[in-house]
């Protein structure tokens, strides 16, 4: 729950809804088909359409044609969307790391060392490929 609250707060700070931030993290590695994305996010296709419409109007995502199926549409981050996601992910990692300050030094040291790897695993669970290695707390 604590991570979810941080995600909601950081989403707002980056002018995103929590749903937009999760969707954008899910496509950070490249375009994803609308049906596959709806399944991955556990939402109805009609809900995803509205979510993509709003993010597209803000210049965060773009619809692209699926190269393997001309009838299918994929969703991809724009350059601006990539910048927003990177800043969003760094902010969450930084906020979670800062929340460790009240712990005993030994525990804090172990958790701070593990947090970037844990964050990568979390972001990877939301996307379809390996997380970027340049991510820093």
Domain map (residue ranges) of the chain: 2-126
Residue 119 vs residue 49, higher pLDDT = 49
Q: What CATH code is assigned to 2-126? A: 1.10.10.10
Q: Is the pLDDT of residue 132 over 60?
A: no
Instruction: Name residue, tokens 């800043």.
Output: 87
Quote the pTM value.
0.74
Q: List Cα–Cα distances, 15 to 20, 32, 88, 93, 112, in angstroms.
A: 10, 23, 10, 18, 27
Mean pLDDT of the chain, nearest integer:
85
pLDDT in tens, 55-66: 999 999 999 998
Q: Distance (Å, rounded) from C-alpha 25 to C-alpha 77?
A: 9
Average pLDDT over residues 83-98: 89
């Amino acid at each position: 729950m604590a991570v979810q609250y941080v995600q909601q707060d950081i989403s707002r700070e980056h002018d995103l809804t929590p749903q937009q931030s999760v969707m954008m993290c899910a496509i950070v590695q490249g375009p994803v088909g609308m049906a596959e994305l709806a399944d991955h996010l556990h939402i109805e296709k009609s809900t995803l359409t509205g979510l993509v419409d709003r993010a597209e109007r803000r210049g965060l995502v773009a619809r692209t044609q699926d190269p393997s199926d001309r009838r299918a549409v994929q969703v991809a981050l724009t350059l601006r969307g990539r910048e927003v996601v990177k800043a969003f992910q760094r902010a969450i990692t930084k906020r979670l790391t800062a929340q460790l300050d009240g712990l005993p030094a030994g525990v804090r040291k172990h958790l701070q060392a593990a947090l970037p790897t844990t964050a990568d695993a979390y972001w990877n669970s939301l996307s379809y490929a390996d997380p970027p290695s340049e991510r820093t707390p």
